[in-house]
């Protein structure tokens, strides 16, 4: 009857980070690129992929898809912004090895296929295939934990990021 007497529903906030593909999870400090390994863009992790099917690392929505298709920016339901960077120095490949399946505004979850990547094309170009996940607005991060490293399957929880 009176709306102000009802309890407000608290929005579901998911703080979990997921493996974007099947492969080996490594801390971001082990990525063979100083911009990532020295955490210049933020903290996170990478997956050395066994397959070219790349899924969302979070529950949230797509903020941007880079014109060169090598990176996708997303926002978690808790407000943290995450960059999925596919490969190292792959901006130079002008999108050739990437097929992007999402657009700006797409709601994503760990079941969402973000991209299909031709891993052979990346390695043939002399580039590393690391799928790097970086939290770019670290000033809002209260706590980041990478709870699982080593072999994982796509969609497996590997850590948390609390805002």
- Among 69, 85, 152, 154, the active-site one is 85
Give kind and range of the element (H or E) at residue 85. strand 81-86
CA neighbor of 83 nearest in space, from 69, 68, 72: 72
CA neighbor of 155 nearest in space, from 39, 48, 54: 54
- Label the pairing between strands 60-65 and 71-76: antiparallel
85 is catalytic: yes
If DSSP codes are grouped into helix, strand and coil, which group holds residue 109?
Answer: coil
CA neighbor of 115 nearest in space, from 102, 100, 133: 100
Give kind and range of the element (H or E) at residue 145. strand 143-146
CA neighbor of 18 nearest in space, from 50, 56, 48: 56
Give the residue numbers annotated as catalytic, written as ranges. 85
């Amino acid at each position: 009857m009176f709306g102000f007497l009802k309890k407000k529903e608290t929005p579901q906030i998911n703080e979990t980070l997921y493996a974007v593909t099947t492969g080996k999870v490594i801390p971001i400090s082990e990525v063979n690129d100083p911009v990532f390994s020295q955490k210049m863009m933020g903290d996170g992790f990478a997956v050395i992929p066994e397959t070219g099917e790349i899924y969302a690392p979070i529950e949230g929505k797509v903020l941007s898809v880079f014109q060169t298709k090598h990176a996708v920016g997303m926002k978690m339901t808790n407000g943290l912004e995450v960059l999925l960077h596919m490969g190292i120095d792959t901006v130079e490949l002008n999108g050739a090895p990437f097929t992007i399946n999402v657009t700006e505004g797409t709601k994503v979850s760990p079941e969402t296929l973000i991209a299909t990547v031709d891993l052979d094309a990346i390695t043939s170009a002399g580039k590393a295939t690391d799928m790097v996940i970086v939290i770019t607005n670290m000033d809002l991060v209260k706590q980041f934990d990478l709870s699982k490293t080593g072999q994982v399957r796509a969609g497996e929880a590997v850590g948390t990021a609390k805002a």
